[in-house]
Structure 1
Amino acid sequence: MRYLHAEWTKLRTLPSTGRLLLALVAVTVAVSVAAATVVSCASAGCGYDPAKISLFGIQAGQAVVAVLAVGAISGEFGTGLIRTTLAAMPNRIAVLAVKAVLLTGLTLAAGGLAVLGSALAGQRILLGNGFPPARLAFDGPMVRAAVGSVLYLALVALLSLGIATAVRDSAAAIGVVLGLLYLFPAVILMIPDPDLATLLWQISPTTAGLTIQATTQLSGLPLSPWAGLGVLAAWAGAALVTGGLLLRARDA
């Protein structure tokens, strides 16, 4: 409980925490609204997945989550405050675990608002753009896509925290995380070998993780939605374990 109180005090008093959480909601909803605005469905039908369109802003909001998570620990390495933290709380794994719990809670809360706002606004806009009401119902697949998107953001936060703990430097950590989230999927598109491209797609934290948003043509996906989110969870777990081991092994 002492560790939790101390880390919560540090996190909530950072000037950037509140701004980044607000930015997560605003950016996610704004990009989702923009995506829904430019997509229309002809009366004869269309192949667009309304859930993916309504929740498209997650792909922008994840960058804000990465910055929030990296800043939760890399700033302490940069200022030397980490020495004070570890002197007062010598259990280093517990310190990292508490940071992970707090980040997860904040991301779930802000991510939930972002996803709810995106889904409601996006569905309303798509309805006006010709999508049939039956395809916009908040049924099982849409609920799974929405809940899964919130979990996706939380896993991105844990992935970023683990990488930042291992790398220590703020700029380098953000570069690594954004490379995984955006550059890795872009590289996959340039792979000429379809089998290799599919394999990389299946292990990419972004492309695999975002399958949780799919509600149509599921049989054509290389991974099922929950299996795809599991790939991202594996990345996040590996990053946290690596970061925790390095935090315990190295001098502060």
Structure 2
Amino acid sequence: MALLLIAGGVALGRDAVDPVQLRLLGVRLGQAAVAAAGVQMLAAEYSSGLIRATLLAVPRRLDLLAAKAGLLTAFVAPIAVLGVGVAVLGLTPSGDLVRAAVVSVLHLILIGLFGLGAAAVVRNSAAALGIVLSLLFLMPMLLRMLPDPDWQRILYRTTPATAVQAMTTTVDTAILPLGPWSALGVVAAWAGGALVLGAFLLYRRDA
């Protein structure tokens, strides 16, 4: 499913102003799929009550979260590589194309980990997915409604809301408030923060 979403922009890339960005349009939708995968990897065990059996089998809770993060990465990475590769197939190779493709793959992995961390924090599938998807899809609309351009710029630079735009744009990149690698760093900070907080709460709370 994620592969189809990522590759969904292929046919749109012809005669576009920024063909790379248009080909990678599916990454925006693919975020939802990988976020859901990350959330369900842990939250499903809480909703079913299986988390107690899991923690009996793996009593070291930080090891459990690390194992799930590794498993999620191993699951998302090849799908993201394949999907992004199919999406940009046929475009003229360039440094900007390679950069956009690599950053898109890393972004999808980080969004999955963000979902896993959110699930560890709130322990509820709907709440965790709601948090992640709100930051990714609702926040951009809220940014446009803000009357203060300074706050718009600050939130643009510090939330993952518009990261995909910064990562996949290869034309007129100078007008963007955030570069592609900086945008990836913002997403990494959110994913890392969620995992650290989730690890702390997983260690401190009862199952």
**TM beyond 0.5:** yes
Matches within 5 A, 1:82-121: 82-120=51-89
Q: CA deviation at 1:201?
A: 0.9
Instruction: Determine if contact 1:209/1:232 at 8 Å carries over to the other structure.
Output: no
Q: Show the counterpart of 1:246.
A: 201
Gap change, CA 1:119 and 1:208, over 3 Å in 2: same
Cα distance in structure 2, aligned partners of 1:189 and 1:207: 11
| Aligned pairs for 1:129-144 within 5 A | 136-144=91-99
Given residue 196 of structure 2, which amino acid in structure 1 is its aligned partner? V
Q: Provide TM-score, normalisation by structure 1.
A: 0.79
Q: 2:10 maps to which residue?
A: 33
- The reply on whether 1:24 has 2:2 as its aligned counterpart is yes
Other-structure match for 1:229: 184
TM-score (norm 2): 0.95
Cα deviation 1:13-38 (Å, max 9, x = unaligned): xxxxxxxxxx00012212x135436x
Give a deviation string over 1:48-96, Cα, whole Å, max 9, x none: 2221111010001110111111110111001111111111111101100
Deviation at 1:231, TM superposition (A): 0.5
Answering whether residue 19 of structure 2 is matched by residue 50 of structure 1, we say yes
CA shift, 1:222, in A, is 0.9
Question: Root-mean-square deviation (CA), in Å?
Answer: 1.4
Partner of 2:170: 215
Determine the structure 1 residue equivalent to 2:157.
202
SS in 2 for 1:100: helix
Q: CA deviation at 1:203?
A: 1.2
Residue 105 (structure 1) shift: 1.6
**Partners of 1:26 and 1:216 in 2: CA distance:** 25
The gaps in structure 1 that reach 5 residues or longer are 1-22, 42-47, 125-135
Where does structure 2 lack aligned partners over 5 or more consecutive residues? Answer: none
After TM superposition, the runs of 4+ consecutive aligned structure 1 residues lying more than 2 A away are 33-37
2:102 aligned residue (133, 136, 147): 147
Bigger Cα Rg: 1
How far did residue 243 of structure 1 move? 0.6
> What whole-Å deviation, never above 9, does each CA across 1:80-123 have from its counterpart, x for those lacking one?
11111111111101100110111112111100111011111xxx
Whether 1:73 and 2:42 are equivalent positions in the alignment is yes
* Range that drifts further, 155-164 or 211-220: 211-220
SS of 1:57 mapped into structure 2? helix
Structure 2 contact 10–88 (Cα < 8 Å) conserved: no
* Cα separation, 2, equivalents of 1:153 and 1:242: 20
Question: What are the residue-to-residue correspondences of 1:152-167 with 2, within 5 Å?
Answer: 152-167=107-122
Q: Deviations over 1:108-153 (max 9, x none)?
A: 1100111011111xxx5xxxxxxxxxxx421111000001100010
Mapped contact 1:35–1:54 kept (Cα < 8 A): yes
Between the aligned residues of both structures, percent identity stands at 45
Could you tell me which amino acid in structure 2 is paired with residue 167 of structure 1? Answer: V
1:137 match: secondary structure: coil
- Equivalenced residues, count: 207
CA contact (8 A) 1:206 1:232 kept: no
- Supply the distance in 2 between the matched residues of 1:171 and 1:240 (Cα, whole angstroms): 18
